[in-house]
Structure 1
Amino acid sequence: MARLKRSEVEPHEDYGFFGPGSVVWKVWGHPTAPTVGFQRAVVVEELDPPLVAAVHRTQGIYRRSRTRYDRTLRYFAMVAFAGSRQVCQAADVLVKVHSKAIGELPYGGGTYDANDPASQLWIQLTGWHSVLYAYERYGPGKLTEEEEREYWQACAVAAELQTCSPDDIPRSREGVRAYFERMRPRLSASPIARQAMHHLLRSELVLPPTPRWARPAALAAAKTQRIATIATLPRWMREMAGIRQSRLLDVLVVPVMKTAFALARLNTWVELRLLERLSPSTVAVVAPVKLGIPPHSEEVLTPAQARARHGYPRPAEAHLEFRARQAARVFGDGKAPSDQGLIESQDILGPLA
């Protein structure tokens, strides 16, 4: 990475909510996380009718595929690796960003709200499950029983940064499976869900402009990641969404991806350069961890301690008046919601364009 030097990397303020030696750093720090794991998460999420309605309303994944991927990945990376103040800022502004994603459900009646605790729980569990699944399939393999308990406990800690309740987070693999089984009857591969899922599987859309000579390799890598992501989807989900791929490809892609990720792990600077291609805004979050640069204060806090220290409310209680004004604009006046939260988020989550 020619433009980034170790001396230029800014240390975090503290270790945030997890820190070195944690299973979160182990799993979320593996290159399977920002690639197959994250892509799987955003694809699967679209089967939830309220969530895909919000995605379709904003059109962000279509109008600015690369920056949407970049900003969302940066947020998840911040939760795992950034300092507690920075994470609290991101969680707080995200409530304002989500206040824009409200409206009438296009199918079946009712309304949707991206800040709804049920939608946030779906996003949280789909994301953490997908990242772990990719790590197990294409990375080092399964966690120990103790590590897995720690992982789902950490997921509950991270849920405190969403509008959902950490009490609703399962603490075991069996509990997570039970949650997805309960959700399955509510999932729907509506036309807008299928459109979003197929679009999000186009890995090449999040890559930066590539020189002509490098395009064949870039497209081959994008195609391989698509195959690898589809291979992690259960058959019923693929059939539901009209996604087709042979069982042979499901099997053949495993050693290819395992080898590719193992090679990427051999050199930290190569790993950071690859991350920069996918999500440039995330590099500053991950680089201090990858390069072993200690924070200013070697503390690990709880979300409650961080909120008290930095002066932020719980996300479920944040910006209630602003959210009420947004609802009045949309449901009362029939107007488009304000972009205020989206604009304010750029300094924290990265640029919109």
Structure 2
Amino acid sequence: MPGTRTNPLRRLLVGRVQGVLNNRASGETPVVRSAHALYPPDSVIWRVHGDVTTMMIGGVTALLLQMLHPAALAGVWDHSTFRSDMLGRLRRTARFIAVTTYGERAAAEAAIEKVRSVHLGVNGVLPDGTPYAASDPKLLAWVHVCEVIGFLDAWIRYGERGMSLADQDTYVAQAGLVATALGCDPVPQTRAEAEALVAAFRPALTANARTREVARMVLTQPAPSLGFAPVQRMLMHAAVDLMPPWAKDLHGLHPSAIEVPVVRAGTMAIAQSLQWAFAGRATPRD
């Protein structure tokens, strides 16, 4: 669509978002869609992962859910550079999803193998003496299902309200391809299985001072640019709003009845603006 490249407003919006997602200084090349990706171009996962707004919201929601598991939180706290490089960590996660969704199969497989090798070195002991390992299939399953639910629910709320249950099941199954390759077990294949897995994990979930500190860092991280700050604040509010009530209770995050409709309306406006700006592009990274 030529207008995507030539319209000044579109160029401005695209540039702002790519400035958030991409790190040109690192020498990374943009991720572009490939006919030889893990998934075909008409796949549901291409549709869901191609929307920049819902992926940002869903990614933050997933992080907030993931950190409620003591072992997941400990792995990030003990081994991650998130405290000094929050944006970098989020960029690396976004790039992994883009590469494994849209990139050449060889590049996707290489990215998966790299993450698997990193996980092997992430081990430790919880404050209560329980050992943990990032390569634990069950812990990986928790991290995976949080992302699946986060991305899918954000897409349904701000991208495709009428998404059929069949397409939701297809998305969950397609996302499971990478999860299986990473060593997750169990790997849900339907929306119902994903929700059942979350429910099975709930007795192990908790929140403490460390959880609240990490959540605060995620939600109040400085915007990469002054112009993006209002958008970022709105998306962070939307991510909290997207969490299930029990997760909000654990975090102690309760948007007011007045705030919720404002956040949803504002986020919808942002989503529609960016969908217009990126029309004709497979991914915000191309």
The aligned amino acid for 1:238 is K
Of residues 135, 154, 157 in structure 2, which corresponds to 1:137?
157
Matched, 1:37 2:67: no
Distance 1:266 1:156 in 2: 30
User: Which residue matches 2:233?
Assistant: 223
User: Which residue matches 2:4?
Assistant: none
Contact 1:55-1:101 at 8 Å conserved across structures? no
| TM superposition shift of 1:45 | 0.7
Contact 2:231-2:270 at 8 Å conserved across structures? no
Matched, 1:163 2:173: no
| TM superposition shift of 1:161 | 2.3
| TM superposition shift of 1:269 | 7.6
Matched, 1:109 2:129: yes
User: Which residue matches 1:127?
Assistant: 147
Could you say which structure has the larger radius of gyration? 1
TM-score normalised over the length of structure 2: 0.83
Gaps of 5+ in 2: 1-10, 19-28
User: Which residue matches 2:3?
Assistant: none
Contact 1:265-1:271 at 8 Å conserved across structures? no
Distance 1:249 1:10 in 2: 36
Q: 1:236-260, CA deviations, whole angstroms, 9 ceiling, x for partnerless residues?
A: 2122112232122122211221121
The aligned amino acid for 1:135 is W
The aligned amino acid for 1:21 is D
Which residues of 2 match residues 167-186 of structure 1 at below 5 A?
168-186=186-204
Distance 1:229 1:186 in 2: 22
User: Which residue matches 2:100?
Assistant: 79
The aligned amino acid for 2:245 is R
Q: 1:312-352, CA deviations, whole angstroms, 9 ceiling, x for partnerless residues?
A: xxxxxxxxxxxxxxxxxxxxxxxxxxxxxxxxxxxxxxxxx
| TM superposition shift of 1:58 | 1.8
Gaps of 5+ in 1: 276-282, 288-353
Matched, 1:264 2:274: yes
The aligned amino acid for 1:153 is A
CA distance 1:125–1:102, change in 2 (3 Å): same
| TM superposition shift of 1:222 | 1.8
Distance 2:239 2:31 in 1: 33
Contact 1:44-1:197 at 8 Å conserved across structures? no
Aligned length, in residue pairs: 262
Contact 1:264-1:271 at 8 Å conserved across structures? no
Distance 1:115 1:218 in 2: 36
Contact 1:14-1:84 at 8 Å conserved across structures? no
SS state of the match for residue 90, structure 1?
Answer: helix
CA distance 1:86–1:191, change in 2 (3 Å): same
Contact 1:155-1:169 at 8 Å conserved across structures? no
| TM superposition shift of 1:10 | 7.6
Matched, 1:18 2:27: no
User: Which residue matches 2:49?
Assistant: 28
Distance 2:262 2:219 in 1: 19
Contact 2:123-2:134 at 8 Å conserved across structures? yes
Contact 1:138-1:258 at 8 Å conserved across structures? yes
Percentage of pairs with the same residue: 21
User: Which residue matches 2:256?
Assistant: 246
Where has structure 1 moved over 4 Å in runs of 4 or more? 1-4, 8-14, 269-273
Distance 1:239 1:145 in 2: 28
